[in-house]
Amino acid sequence: MPLLEVEGLKTHFFGKRSVTKAVDGVSFTLDHGEILGIVGESGSGKSVTSLSLMRLVDHPGRVVAGSIRFEGRDLLTLSREEMRKLRGRRMSMIFQEPGTSMNPVLTVGFQIGEAIRSHERVEPAEVRRRTMELMEMVGIPDAKQRLNQYPHQFSGGMLQRLMIAMGLALSPSLLIADEPVTALDVTIQAQILDLLKDLRDTTNAAVLLITHDMGVVAETCDRVVVMYLGAIVEEAPVETLFDDPKHPYTQGLLGSIPSIEEKVEWLQAIPGTIPNANEIPTGCRFSNRCPKVMDVCHTVDPALEFVGEGHRVACHLYTETEDRDV
């Protein structure tokens, strides 16, 4: 049984006049110790998906359909208190901006220890000892002194390490990382990604890595889910996705990365911009930007179907012709 099984997840935001379908029927699974990447442009619903898993979507947003099976339990049926007990203990989350994601007026030691104190009754000295261990684990030197320092005394990379320490304080089986390196320098990015991979190897925690950066995906993930406008358009093991992308959107995403080997005159970019999530085109949601658009794309929303080993894609280019004869 997979660690996490998301089925038909829909998270909508209810505005005064319109409903924004930020996540509109997303299904995927995640195994123990696996690193799954969710990629997409901003507005594709990847962050809302991760917040939905933690049940941290704020008003006016709400999960309206689907199930999230985690360690055998459907998270959407749990009470608030049961859910709280899971957060930080069995599943935790780190965020994009380490600088604003920590409380500026509390010491980092207090904030890491808070994760422990929220779930276990432990002596203060024991909390301190474990906090120091965690800080050393994520590679922060002089943990004993730095424990009593405040967030503004750390660099962005160090803060993200602290966030990871906080997330892993109680050895959760799932770590959700929402754009964990986007706000960091490239050299620091590599260090943080290496740290995530190392910790996956030692703790066997699964990692759900949300990013818009194909480079980060290539470097870190085992498997990738590509999201567009609140839905999954392609899913594949990482090598497959880079070698043989099927969906025109994925091809566009990969084509817009400059290559060192090939010299190209024009960088291939996806035409247009991602529409608002409350203006999803009928039929295929990518139809208004797709370079290979067909008549059927404007009327029928393609289902996610297997095209190879662990490789699924939602595109009419790969569906059997029987649909089109009608």
Partner 1 sequence: MTRYIIRRVLVGIPILFLVVTLVFFAFRLIPGDAARILAGDEAPIERVEQIRRDLGLDRPVLVQYANYLGDLFRGDLGTSFSSRRPVTVEIGSRFWNTFSLALASITLATILGIAMGVISALYRGKLADHVVTILALLGISVPVFWLGLLMMQLFSVQLGWLPAAGYGTWRHFVMPTIALSVFSIAFITRMTRSSLLETIQQDYVRTARAKGVVERLVLLLLSLRNALLPVTIVVGLRFGYMVGGAVITEEVFAWPGLGRLLILSVAQRDIPLVQGLLLVFATSFVIVNLLVDLLYAFLDPRIRHR
Q: Using CB under 8 A as the criterion, which residues of the chain lie in contact with partner 1 when the complex forms?
A: 54, 56, 80, 84-89, 92-93, 95, 97, 100-106, 111, 114-115, 118-119, 150, 152-153, 163, 166-167
Q: CB of 252 within 8 A of CB of 271?
A: no
Smaller CB separation from partner 1, 105 or 186: 105
Smaller CB separation from partner 1, 177 or 195: 177
CA-to-CA distance for 135 and 102, rounded, in angstroms? Answer: 15
Smaller CB separation from partner 1, 86 or 143: 86
Smaller CB separation from partner 1, 206 or 226: 206
**96: Cβ–Cβ under 8 A, 6 or more apart, which residues?**
178, 179, 180, 182, 183
Smaller CB separation from partner 1, 83 or 307: 83
Smaller CB separation from partner 1, 57 or 225: 57
Q: Find tokens 């992308």 and name the residue.
A: 245
Radius of gyration of the chain (CA): 21
Token code pair at residue 237: 């093991």
Work out how close the CB of 103 gets to partner 1 at its nearest, in angstroms, rounded to a whole number: 4
Work out how close the CB of 89 gets to partner 1 at its nearest, in angstroms, rounded to a whole number: 6
Work out how close the CB of 183 gets to partner 1 at its nearest, in angstroms, rounded to a whole number: 11
Work out how close the CB of 236 gets to partner 1 at its nearest, in angstroms, rounded to a whole number: 29
Q: CB of 274 within 8 A of CB of 40?
A: no
Work out how close the CB of 83 gets to partner 1 at its nearest, in angstroms, rounded to a whole number: 9
CA-to-CA distance for 319 and 285, rounded, in angstroms? Answer: 16
* Cα 138 from chain centre: 21
Work out how close the CB of 38 gets to partner 1 at its nearest, in angstroms, rounded to a whole number: 17
Smaller CB separation from partner 1, 100 or 171: 100
CA-to-CA distance for 69 and 98, rounded, in angstroms? Answer: 29
Smaller CB separation from partner 1, 49 or 111: 111
Q: CB of 146 within 8 A of CB of 180?
A: no
Token code pair at residue 22: 């930020």
Q: How far apart are the first and last CA of the chain?
A: 39
Work out how close the CB of 34 gets to partner 1 at its nearest, in angstroms, rounded to a whole number: 21
Work out how close the CB of 131 gets to partner 1 at its nearest, in angstroms, rounded to a whole number: 13
Backbone dihedral region of 152: left (phi > 0), alpha (psi from -120 to 50 degrees) or beta? alpha
